[in-house]
A and B are shown apart, each in its own frame.
Chain A
Amino acid sequence: MRGFVFTLDVLIGVCLLLAALFMMPSLTFTLPTQRYEHLSTVAEDVLNVLSVLSAVESNLPTVQKLRGTLSDVELNKSMLDLIASLWYAGNQSLAQNLSKEALEPYPHCFNLTIDGELIYQSCPYAGQSIATASRLETGYEVGKPVFGYVARAWLLSIENKTTQRVIDFNPQGSSYQRGRAFEVTKYFELPQNISILNGTFYVSLHYGSSQAAAEFISLLVNRVQLKAKVNWLYLKQLPGLPIYGTAAFGVLDVTQYLRPGENEVEVVIGTPELYHSHLHPGMRIVTTYKTNQTEWQYNESFRQRLYFDDVIGIRGVWNVFPFFIPPGATNVSAVLHLKAEGIENRLPQYVEGEWHEDVEVYLNSDDPIFVDPTPLPNPEYTLNLTPYLQNGTNVLSVFMNCYGDVAWGSDRNRIYSNPFNEPELSSYVELSYQLKALPTLGYLQVDLTREVLYNSEPSNPKQASFNTSRPVIQSFNHLATGFSSMVELKARGEEWVEVYESANVREVPTTIYISPQVFTIGKNYVWVRDFQPTGSTSLYNEILPWSSIEYTILVPAAVGYGDVFANRTQAIEDAVQRLLTLLQSYGIEFDPGQVQIQDKTVGGIRWLWGPSLFKLSAWERQ
């Protein structure tokens, strides 16, 4: 019995085994990698066909419809080119139809994209295995000529460019006698054909104590009295010593009183009981105006006559007169013409440890370059300053019947200047030099001048900063102080650089030239300290927040070739618009209708779209 059971088991097992063996050969399968390879080949081949088969050869229904609309050249584009051209030209439905007709004959599902945008997908579902082929293509835009125009443009002039100019008043004086006023008259010219947008007058002076006749007496701008309009921002007296007068800094709006061309400002200041009245550093007019800006003209030879202000002092007269020579200047020369009135021939005076004569001229040193111990009453001097010049800031100091805070004249003295009516008889410095090259000056650029106030609180020393996105080509520091003695100024772009240090007492120029090479693109700093002749930092002298940094930058006034257009006019319009956008980005305000622009077009430029990445994905139909 057990034997039969055993035999039956064997037979069942054998049957199962045979069944398995018979089944085995019929179990065929396809490896997933083989399927993917096949799909990959299909995708590659179809994409290749689309890129080499011309639209006209394909003779698809959509292409037939486009005959007559598109040129022969356009119909001879490859299928892929035409699809992309239609797509980028905004004819997306045509591009989709063309794709559909091109891909329909094949027994696979496809998905065609261009730079990630879906053009056409033949099946609404995705396959288990999807192969993708890609191709980078470029071509001419449909509906436009194969060759078009590009244009560039640059400025010839802006009729309404906004810019600034700073008119400095040198520290000068004085009236040493109580109750008697001293007078300063400044003559300056603004460009013709400008529209003055703003005029801010910063008044910085040392006036008398609280006696009606001894205070700030008069401020005439083009003969209009504006004394009452001054808004005093800073008034300071020495602690417990009001008789020494007041260091005063104020501001007033003179916009409506300035005019293009010749201008005249007259200041009359009363005298302290025990000191002298004078102008302090920081007195200036900042004008903002619209002007015609011609293409940057660069001259190798530079010659300029810088006039003194006409100053009438009591018991002595002086002027601290800065001027500037840019680094790299060659053949530099300067001549001082000095004409004075009412100068007295007196004995030498012992002041601050040294004997001083009636007329002394200093330049960049505490040793005078010229003295006249026996001046005529109305002397006239012509001095060659050339041997004493230095690059950067030069400070010329003229003292007559006075030195520092001491005066020994008895009456009215005058440094004469009236450049509008008697230019040759006026006092002036005539400066000339040559510049072979200024690397920062670029062609097709517009210069823009900006003034940035120090801000914050009065202090000594004081630091300020400004940011620039363009290289600085010219820069000045306009110093505004209360009481002052001597100053040093450092500037920092990459690193701190010593810019200026007073060589002589009272040598605190309102304007100090800072070599633009000091500054870099980004954040820049200046640092100023007022110090005593001993070198110690002054206790009561303060640098005021209305000091400023004036810097000039050049901004591009040209744009290069842009997109391709069907005709010259469109190309020029595009270039002009790009130029205007560029100028506006630098804050140059102007009326586009008043911009004179030169343009240049180039024809025969191939009109391309792309390069764009096509991707064709293929998968099996369900």
Chain B
Amino acid sequence: MWSKAQVLSADFALAASAFLLSAGLIYFFWLQVIEEARDAKEILELSRAVRRVAGTLLTEGVPQYWNASTVQSLGLCNEGKLNETKVLSLWEIGYDRLKELLGIGAHEFWMAGKSVGGEVVEVDGKKFEFGLWPQGAAQVSKATRLSVLKGKVVVLEVVLWK
């Protein structure tokens, strides 16, 4: 005849092991979910930020016809089209100053003007491609807008990443 203590210890050991295993797994995955939710929120914010930046680039900026030394607010268009001079001023303004003007804080960015076929267009011999391409980025978000540059439809791609 079995004693209660013997039965209890074997069952208990098995049950406790199963419970601890499952509790540990639950805790592990819970942490993962929390992490992913945090990432998703950041991606959403990044997505909003990149749309805002793309929208800003399609404005005229301040002043209306700014140059690298007078620009207060960035915008590459005049009369609804991309202004070639303003596009060329991007290189003159420089990456860090552009980040300030676009208000993107700790994020990095990349932008390019492409034809509808997907080729990067040239402006005065320069490829309309500017900024840092996301390499090894934890989060990346892209926005595309349409505009006109030198009589051609241009797809303006903006990528924000960190």
A residues sitting closer than 8 Å to B (CB atoms) are 3, 6-7, 10-11, 13-14, 17-18, 21-22, 24-25, 34, 37, 41-42, 45-46, 48-49, 51-54, 57, 105-106
Q: How far is the CA of A53 from the CA of B11 in the complex (A)?
A: 80
Query: Do B15 and A7 touch (CB < 8 A)?
Result: yes
Chain A residues closer than 8 Å to B14, beta-carbon distance: 3, 7
Q: Are A25 and B22 within 8 A (Cβ)?
A: no
A4 to chain B minimum Cβ distance, whole angstroms, is 9
| Contact residues in A for B152 (Cβ distance below 8 Å) | 57
Chain B residues 10-53 with CB under 8 Å of chain A are 10-11, 14-15, 18-19, 21-22, 25-26, 29-30, 32-33, 36, 47, 51
A3-B15, A41-B145 known; A57+B151 contact, CB < 8 A: yes
Closest B residue to A47 using CB positions:
B146
Given contacts A21-B33, A25-B36, is CB(A45)–CB(B18) below 8 Å? no
Does A24 lie within 8 Å of B151, measured CB to CB? Answer: no
Which B positions have Cβ atoms within 8 angstroms of A? Answer: 7, 10-11, 14-15, 18-19, 21-22, 25-26, 29-30, 32-33, 36, 47, 51, 58, 79-81, 116, 145-148, 151-153
New A-B contacts (19) at CB < 8 Å, excluding given A52-B81, A53-B81, A57-B152: A3-B7, A6-B15, A7-B18, A14-B18, A14-B22, A18-B29, A21-B26, A21-B29, A21-B32, A21-B33, A37-B51, A41-B51, A41-B145, A45-B145, A48-B146, A48-B147, A49-B153, A52-B80, A53-B153
Q: Quick one: which of A18, A52, A57 contacts B79, CB cutoff 8 A? A: A52
In whole angstroms, what is the CA distance A53 to B80 when docked? 9
Top 4 A-B pairs ranked by shortest CB distance? A57-B151, A45-B146, A21-B29, A52-B80
- The docked-state distance in angstroms from the alpha carbon of A57 to that of B11 is 83
- Which A residues touch B19, using CB under 8 A? 10
Contact indicator A25/B33 (Cβ below 8 Å): yes
Taking a contact as CB atoms under 8 Å apart, the answer to whether B147 and A49 are in contact is: yes
Q: Which residue of B lies closest to A18 (CB)?
A: B25
- Given the known A-B contacts A7-B14, A24-B33, A25-B32, are A14 and B21 also in contact in the complex, defined by CB atoms under 8 Å? yes
| Alpha-carbon separation in the docked complex, A7 to B16 (Å) | 10
Whether A3 lies near B11 (C-beta < 8 A) is yes
Contact in complex: A17, B26 (CB < 8 Å): yes
Residues on the A chain within 8 Å of B79, using CB: 52
21 A-B pairs with C-beta separation under 8 A: A6-B11, A7-B14, A7-B15, A10-B18, A10-B19, A10-B22, A14-B18, A17-B26, A18-B29, A21-B25, A34-B47, A45-B146, A45-B147, A46-B146, A48-B80, A49-B146, A49-B153, A52-B81, A52-B148, A53-B148, A106-B146
CB-nearest residue of chain B to A41: B145
- How far, in whole Å, are A42 and B145 apart by their CA atoms in the complex? 7
Looking at A10, A13, A46, which has the most chain B CB atoms within 10 Å of its CB?
A10
Closest to B117 in A: A105
Residues of B within 8 A of A34 (CB): 47
A25 to B39, CA, bound (A): 11
List chain B residues, Cβ under 8 A from A45: 58, 145-147
Interchain CB contact under 8 A, A53 and B22: no
Q: Tell me which residues across on chain A come within 8 A of B30, comparing CB atoms.
A: 21
CA A7 to CA B146, docked complex, whole Å:
61
Residues from chain B with Cβ under 8 Å of A10 in the complex: 15, 18-19, 22
- By beta carbon, the residue of chain B nearest A10 is B18
How far does the alpha carbon of A10 sit from the alpha carbon of B26 in the complex, in Å? 13
Taken together as a complex, chains A and B put the C-alpha atoms of A51 and B79 apart, in Å, by 10
Q: Point out the residues of chain B lying under 8 angstroms from A46, CB to CB.
A: 146
Q: How far is the CA of A104 from the CA of B82 in the complex (A)?
A: 22
Shortest distance in angstroms between B2's beta carbon and chain A's nearest beta carbon?
12
Q: Given the complex of chains A and B, what is the CA–CA distance between A24 and B24 in angstroms?
A: 18
Complex CA–CA separation, A10 to B15 (angstroms): 9
Tell me the smallest distance from the CB of A231 to a CB of chain B, in Å.
Answer: 81
Q: Which residues of chain B are near A11, meaning CB under 8 Å?
A: 18
Q: Which residue of A lies closest to B82 (CB)?
A: A52
Min CB distance B95 to A, Å, is: 26
| Docked CA distance A6–B15 (Å) | 8
Residues of the B chain whose Cβ atoms lie less than 8 Å from the Cβ of A49? 146-148, 153
Shortest A313–chain B CB gap in Å is 93
Q: Which residue of A lies closest to B145 (CB)?
A: A45
Which chain B residues lie closer than 8 Å to A21 at the CB level? 25-26, 29-30, 32-33
Whether B148 pairs with A105 at a CB distance below 8 angstroms is no
Instruction: With both chains docked as a complex, state the minimum distance between the C-beta of B101 and any C-beta of chain A, in angstroms.
Output: 22
Residue of B nearest to A46 (CB): B146
Are B25 and A14 in contact (CB-based, < 8 A)?
Answer: yes
Q: Which one of A7, A51, A105 lies within 8 Å of B80 (CB-CB)?
A: A51
List the A side residues contacting B36 at CB < 8 Å.
Answer: 25
Closest residue of A by beta carbon distance from B80: A52
Cα A57 to Cα B147 in complex, Å, equals: 13
What chain B residues lie within 8 Å of A106 (beta carbons)? 116, 146
Give the nearest-CB partner of A6 in chain B.
Answer: B15
Chain A residues with CB under 8 A of B18: 7, 10-11, 14
